Structure 1
């Protein structure tokens, strides 16, 4: 099984696409995970440069945030259709709202399924605070009700939301692992979605809790003869990243931390 790593655009928006993608290629990533630029010229530049560099593309959807459901539904459809037209490997969507009803969120998931069927571009749904998938126990409800629902697992959000490492919810975690197609490998903790530095000794318990979950996903992929397992090291920019008081300078370099996570997991998993 191949283990592929995707570089997040998040935090690197100031870097022109061509320069950014050159850095991504040199760093050893297999592709990028990013939303699609709105402007035609910038979108074409991105897609052309991805082809030039031989990089894969995971489409990322997060922009639909309006509270009104009908407007939300329309914007969600438009954005997913635009992403699918770019022919990504798949679309990773932050879907719905934590305050929408189950019926409303399921309508959005059904819309994503319909677009995936029409375009032959899979759509999976990221576990994320503020979305239908904001917590382990609520996501379990959707996974039980929708047997074809697939997810991008970012367990850091669930640790934060539950204020535990979820040892008291093993059934919900096991079900989520069984439906995981992609992993966001940011490390969070029980009081926040991102630790300051995964290399620091004081955070090794949190790192290990995440590794234990990711190990189980990778093992299941191998048992199921999956050809690849995809990761996005997603330590993010401020306010996720810790800043020094008063000076507001980052305590670590985001690019370096994500590169560290990629190399850590490549050594751990890329043995086939």
Structure 2
């Protein structure tokens, strides 16, 4: 099957050119990231990506405003800035968890209009604190807005529902059916990120996530669609840290490359 892997820019502390060199050398196809509004800075970033033959997934995460009108203005501003860079698509952490259905739908409708105008697909991430923060809430959105396409980061739902979602199979299956892209972070019932997915104590949790992702891969294979994956294990303090020193208990880069290689090998057989 046709599959592309993206590295998160989130957590990078290296010069961007060095980071992109490492991303390419590791075997990634591109980077998922936001972009600055300063045109010179933005063009410099796009030039470095091009120099290393890396594609861009635009990322919007700056959904801070409580007032919907202000939120809409900034949402459109950020999306238009990303659209101008001609990314593969845009992944949005849309809305707030306390927005009503109608408030969130206003944002989804705006994203749809901008997508139709630009030809750039805009999809919406399942993320704590955002409109699609929980499995049952997302099920309602997907039922009432059947053309909504999502980035599935199911690690958040494990944390929100304090479970591996055993009792929400219908909601999970519906989300999988609407998934255009996924983040391969492994969550658990008490947090959105295990300390190291290679550790044996997380084997059952990892296997559960793999089975969810397998279903997404199978759907993309059947429909002959490109599958895209971002290996989005995060840095400290998203990554658990030791007390007092606040040193991360794992290596973000090493874990993300491991997840990419694990999934590349797994889906060779698809």
TM-score tier (shorter): over 0.9
Distance of 1:160 and 1:212 partners within structure 2: 18
For these two proteins, the number of residue pairs brought into alignment is 270
Partner of 1:31: 30
1:124 Cα shift? 0.2
> Matches of 1:243 and 1:157 in 2, distance apart?
19
Residue from 220, 231, 234 that aligns with 2:232: 234
What is the distance in 2 between the residues matched to 1:111 and 1:255? 35
1:6 alignment counterpart: 6
Gaps of 5+ in 1: none
TM-score (norm 1): 0.97
Distance 1:136 1:161 in 2: 9
**Aligned counterpart for 2:242 among listed residues 239, 244, 250:** 244
Structure 1 consecutive aligned stretches of length 4 or more whose deviation exceeds 4 Å: none
Alpha-carbon separation, structure 1, partners of 2:234 and 2:198: 16
Alpha-carbon shift at residue 65 of structure 1 (Å) = 0.9
Secondary structure of 1:212's aligned partner: helix
Question: What are the equivalent positions in structure 2 for 1:61-210 lying under 5 Å apart?
Answer: 61-210=60-209
* CA offset digits 1:26-62 (Å, max 9, x no partner): 1110000000123222211111111111111000000
Deviations 1:205-247 (A, max 9, x none): 1111100100110011111121x21110111012210111111
Whether the 8 Å CA contact 1:233–1:258 is kept in 2: the answer is yes
On the 8 A contact 2:236/2:247 being kept in 1, the answer is no
Deviation at 1:137, TM superposition (A): 0.2
**1:88/1:121 contact within 8 Å kept:** yes
Counterpart contact for 1:3–1:270, Cα < 8 Å: no
Q: Secondary structure at the match of 2:227?
A: strand
Structure 2: gaps spanning 5 or more residues: none
- Are 2:237 and 2:248, in contact at CA under 8 Å, matched by a contact in 1? no
- For the residues of structure 1 that align with 2:33 and 2:96, how far apart are their CA atoms? 21
Q: Measure, in 2, the Cα distance between the counterparts of 1:48 and 1:154.
A: 29
Asked if the contact 1:2–1:270 (Cα under 8 Å) also holds between the matched residues in 2, the reply is no
CA distance in 2, matches of 1:108, 1:270: 38
SS in structure 2 opposite 1:60?
A: strand
Partner SS state of residue 203, structure 1: helix
2:37–2:81 contact (8 Å) kept in structure 1: no
SS in structure 2 of the partner of residue 80 of structure 1: helix
**Alpha-carbon distance between aligned partners in 2 of 1:170 and 1:207, rounded to the nearest angstrom:** 17
Q: Tell me the SS of whatever aligns to 2:229.
A: strand
Separation (CA, whole Å) in 1 of partners of 2:112 and 2:228: 21
TM-score normalised per structure 2:
0.98
Decide whether the 8 Å contact of 2:91 with 2:122 is kept in 1: yes
Q: Distance in 2 between matches of 1:26 and 1:271?
A: 24
Q: Is the 8 A contact 1:17 1:45 kept in 2?
A: no
